[in-house]
Structure 1
Amino acid sequence: MTIKRVGILGAGKVGIVLAGLALDAGYEVRISGSGTVKKIDLIIKTLVPGAIASENRDVVENSDIILLAIPLSRYKNIDPQLLKGKLVIDAMNYWWETDGIREEVLEPDSTSSEQVQAYFKDTTIVKAFNHMGYHNLQEDARPKGNPKRKALFVTGDDHKAVDEVAHFVDTMGFDQVVHYNLADGIMTEPGSPLFGASLKYDELKHIIDHFNETEFGKQVAASQK
């Protein structure tokens, strides 16, 4: 699949930064938010001129790839049929200040991305852009080959989709550490050693490769038995 049009659901800090990166990479960008299109349009014209403010349906229908950048507690507000057949990047995390009580948002026996995939069952979900803070996403993007380039973790169950997202991440200014297991997204969620980290490829890969040796990794492994 050739990605030319990028759709972003969520006009918060992460969504705005991703929209800016996508515009810089030469993509056509549409973005929606929780407010009216008129209100979102004013924000977009100010912060990311060139992006198109629209409603969810228009964003999805006119995009080749979708980024979910809304509070995790709100993903079920989206009709799963809207994203049917789409390639979707899950850039969300549970965050108590925004999402409230964890048990009211997530089941205890699987990762957040697995639950997002279960809800959007006819959609292909790939986890990416979730472990790096929005300031770092904005400031640390670099052209391929730049010695200061940082890396992002990309994982999902569909190999082809993961590879497509990895290429997309490359065009957005980051190297990629790639896995093919959506559940591995737990390694970059809040509470993990990588959450909030802005690291080069070798540094990121080293921590991920040794994840199971950390206390958090042992807890995750124990919970999955």
Structure 2
Amino acid sequence: MTSPDPTATAPATLGIIGAGRIGRAIAVLGRRAGIEVRVAASRPPEQLRADVEAAAPGASAVSVVDAARADIVVLAIPLGRHRQLPPEALAGALVVDAMNYWWELDGARPEFDDPLTSTSETVQAHLAGSRVVKAFGHVSAYALEELARDAGDPERIAMAIAGDDDRDVAAVGALADALGFDPLPAGPLAEGRRFEPGTEVFGADAGVTEAREMLERFWDSQRGRVVARARALSPERGAGGAE
């Protein structure tokens, strides 16, 4: 894992697709940081506007197409609906996958249960023209609402970030920092599996040192051993273990 890039800056505009608890919490933090926030959902903007303005004053209710034009776009919808996202509208966008797989909500979905891939890689396959980075999904909704802290605060918690392009990871890290969390680069997008639901760091709301140790222990966990075993048996993916 590399260190955060201190030269990266927070985005001027932030698009959020999804107006549930996670989307609203990120919108509030974005406005608090002085970022122009655009929120889109399945409802048309005119039906969404009152809720957005009440939850995050200063944020705008927009179409998915308009949200996709922001500097960074956060996906905060149920993961099972990811195929409803328009790849053409998000082409070229830096997209943050804050979604998680819950079989109780999404139903049994073999593509999300596959130990050879992470859920964010499945999202990237659908949004082939976008640059997908995984972040904001492993902290609790409560943490997004209540635990953001200024830089240097000893109570600040970590935000793990996985992506295939160092510049994109740095950009998302700058966003996390602006919103009140310590960015923790976690490797390429495939490594997002280490902070999916069921892993030690998921929902732990831990500081950087503790969160880094949790990520490093993944391969000794039950889920890590399942992933490593599947990879060892797959000629396409090679032997298991940290990359």
1:12 pairs with one of 7, 20, 26 = 20
Aligned match of 2:162: 155
CA apart distance, 1:107: 6.3
Q: Do the aligned residues in 1 keep the contact of 2:161 with 2:183 (CA within 8 Å)?
A: yes
Superimposed CA distance per residue, residues 32-84 of structure 1 (whole angstroms, 9 cap, x where no aligned partner): 112232221111121111110011011112x1110011111111112211111
Aligned match of 1:166: 173
How many residues end up aligned between the 2 structures? Answer: 223
Q: Do the aligned residues in 2 keep the contact of 1:152 with 1:174 (CA within 8 Å)?
A: yes
Alignment identity in percent? Answer: 38
TM-score by length of 1: 0.94
TM-score by length of 2: 0.88
1:106 pairs with one of 107, 112, 118 = 112
2:196 pairs with one of 159, 183, 189 = 189
CA apart distance, 1:221: 1.3
CA apart distance, 1:106: 3.1
Alpha-carbon distance in 2 for matches of 1:102, 1:195: 20
Alpha-carbon distance in 1 for matches of 2:98, 2:54: 23
Alpha-carbon distance in 2 for matches of 1:124, 1:50: 27
- Aligned 1:171-182 pairs, distance under 5 A: 171-182=178-189
CA apart distance, 1:224: 2.1
Query: Residue 27 in 1 paired to residue 35 in 2?
Result: yes
Residue type at the aligned position of 1:186:
R
Alpha-carbon distance in 1 for matches of 2:113, 2:91: 23
CA RMSD of aligned residues (A): 1.4
1:41 pairs with one of 49, 62, 75 = 49
Q: Do the aligned residues in 1 keep the contact of 2:31 with 2:57 (CA within 8 Å)?
A: no
- Aligned 1:88-107 pairs, distance under 5 A: 88-103=95-110, 106=112
SS in 2 for 1:34: coil
Query: Residue 129 in 1 paired to residue 136 in 2?
Result: yes
The runs of 5 or more residues in structure 2 that have no matched partner are 1-7, 233-243
Q: Do the aligned residues in 1 keep the contact of 2:163 with 2:189 (CA within 8 Å)?
A: yes
CA apart distance, 1:136: 1.1
Aligned match of 2:75: 68
Residue type at the aligned position of 1:175:
D
SS in 2 for 1:223: helix
Q: Do the aligned residues in 2 keep the contact of 1:158 with 1:180 (CA within 8 Å)?
A: no
Alpha-carbon distance in 2 for matches of 1:188, 1:56: 27
CA apart distance, 1:180: 2.6
